[in-house]
Amino acid sequence: MAFCAVALIVLDCGSVPNGLNLIHLDLIQPAMKKLLIVYHSMTSGSLQMARAAAEGAAQEPQTKTRMLHASDTKFEDVLEADGYIFVTPETLGSMSGLMKDFFDRTYYPVMNHVQGRPYAAMVCAGSDGSNAVRQIQRITTGWRLKAIAEPLIVCTHAQTPEAILKTKCLTEEDLQPCREVGQAIALGLAMGLF
């Protein structure tokens, strides 16, 4: 557990021959670390990934996890968090419009205030996902965030309009890596590793 032990040593020359008297040992608990999961989803795949990441993060009680829809996330939410997970669908060869809107609104207010903080990226895609990952990486490079894991892409193999528009049901195999990344970043934050 991440506790700081602070020993206060007070000189008391009158009572102790060697001049040192250990008066207290105070345990001070540091502020709880905060993980912010920002997501957008049209057909539920990215939402399931974000929820799995939050479940994993919940395994680490010393980190407080908030999951916010991209549209509800303000730059103040980004500033007050210590680490991030960004979860988006890939649509039309890009991160989704609302995820882009989130980054457009927060990019400059946050710039130069979050450098060095850890993050992970997750993308739900029908067949590719790599462009959405690249776009997130460019933005997080601008913010000088530190990736704590390889980006996760879950491919739903939805190719027809019907399959693409259908609500997705991701498998355990898809979701477990999201849980693991959520747990890893929450644990690392709690332990002060980043």
- 28 φ/ψ angles, rounded to the nearest 5 degrees: -115, 125
Is 121 a residue that touches ligand FMN (CB under 6 A)? no
Scanning 52-60, 90-98, 103-111, 135-143 for contacts with ligand FMN by CB under 6 A, the matching segment is: 90-98
As given in the structure block, the two tokens for residue 28 are 């001070």
Among the listed residues 56, 126, 151, 182, the single contact to ligand FMN using CB under 6 A: 126
Strands (E), 76-138: 83-91, 94-95, 118-125
DSSP 128-146: --HHHHHHHHHHHHHTT-E
Taking the complex as a whole, the smallest distance from the CB of residue 50 to ligand FMN amounts, in Å, to 9
| Cβ contacts of 191 within 8 Å, gap of 6 or more | 2
Return d(Cα 84, Cα 160) in angstroms, integer: 33
Among the listed residues 125, 139, 152, 190, the single contact to ligand FMN using CB under 6 A: 125
Q: Is 19 left (phi over 0), alpha (psi -120 to 50) or beta?
A: left
Taking the complex as a whole, the smallest distance from the CB of residue 186 to ligand FMN amounts, in Å, to 22
Q: Which of residues 141-160 bind ligand FMN (CB under 6 A)?
A: 156, 158
Among the listed residues 36, 45, 151, 186, the single contact to ligand FMN using CB under 6 A: 45
Judged by CB under 6 A, the number of residues near ligand FMN is 21
Is 182 a residue that touches ligand FMN (CB under 6 A)? no
Which one, 89 or 182, has the nearer CB to ligand FMN?
89
Scanning 10-18, 38-46, 137-145, 179-187 for contacts with ligand FMN by CB under 6 A, the matching segment is: 38-46
Run of H or E including 11: strand 4-11
Q: Note the helical H segments in 58-96.
A: 75-80
Taking the complex as a whole, the smallest distance from the CB of residue 103 to ligand FMN amounts, in Å, to 17
Q: Kindly list the residues in this chain that would bind ligand FMN in the complex (CB under 6 A).
A: 41-46, 89-93, 124-129, 156, 158, 164, 168
